[in-house]
Amino acid sequence: MSIETPISGMVKRYLTQVKEMYGDNLFFEDTGISFAIQSSFNTSLTEFEKAINKCQKCPLGETRNKFVFGVGDPSAKLVFIGEAPGRDEDRLGEPFVGRAGKLLDKILSAINMTREEVYICNILKCRPPDNRTPQCEEIETCLPYLETQLKIINPKLIVALGATAAHTLLSIKTSLGSLRSKIWKWRDIDLIVTYHPAALLRNPNFKRPAWEDFQWIQSIISRN
């Protein structure tokens, strides 16, 4: 569930620029979905979710049970991005609530954070059938929604969880291992790459390097 907080100066500046460029409405081509940018700047992630949560822009809109937008602090310093909703997420409408999500909660707790203090979402808002890997067309179609979320939140650090998120946000197709331990940029925001918690459940050998990554994440956030 998204939590409303006073909109930050950074978001106001972003929305002012958007208004100057596009007028009072953000329009997503081919969807018929427009997102009103209100003159009072009461625009929030909640309003954005309301504007897009009936999306049928790709075939996953027909097969999903629940649209899975994202959860956490709408002005979080730290945003985690996974691949797509799974079975539990599709049932409950919230990201990272299954086994992998419980593991993410434990890891966050180990670095003295909670899911309420960060923001958690996925590349796709709807579950691919049988949890198959998202297709390029689905990613391309859905990505503008995530980009808008990130622009509104404007975090200090993005963490790409797993190869799909990393390859999408960095436009680089290389092994996850070679993407770790570096600071990348998504637009002007720092981005680091680590294993998806589901990969840690499948392969315990990833747990040690993932733990090192999360300690690094904690040190970066504590400096900001």
Please tell me whether residue 201 adopts helix, strand or coil conformation. helix
60 vs 150 by CB, closer to ligand SF4: 60
Q: Which conformational region is residue 187 in: left (phi greater than 0), alpha (psi within -120 to 50 degrees), or beta?
A: left
Restricting to residues 59-118, which ones interact with ligand SF4 according to CB under 6 A? 60-61
Cβ proximity to ligand SF4: between 67 and 206 the closer is 67
Alpha helices in the chain (DSSP H): 9-22, 45-52, 60-63, 87-92, 99-110, 136-153, 163-170, 176-179, 197-202, 207-223
Site for ligand SF4 in 143-202 (CB under 6 A): none
Token couple for 47: 């309003």
Give the Cα separation of 165 and 191 in Å (integer).
11
Closest approach of Cβ 224 to ligand SF4, in Å? 30
Q: Which positions from 118 to 147 touch ligand SF4 by CB under 6 A, shown as an x/- string?
A: ------xxx-----------x--xx-----
Tell the smallest beta-carbon distance from residue 16 to ligand SF4 (Å). Answer: 27
Q: Which is nearer to ligand SF4, 142 or 165 (CB)?
A: 142
Considering only residues 39-58, where is the footprint of ligand SF4 by CB under 6 A? 55-58
The HSE-up count of residue 117 (CA atoms within 13 Å, CB side) is: 10
- Name residues contacting ligand SF4, limited to 1-40 (CB under 6 A): none
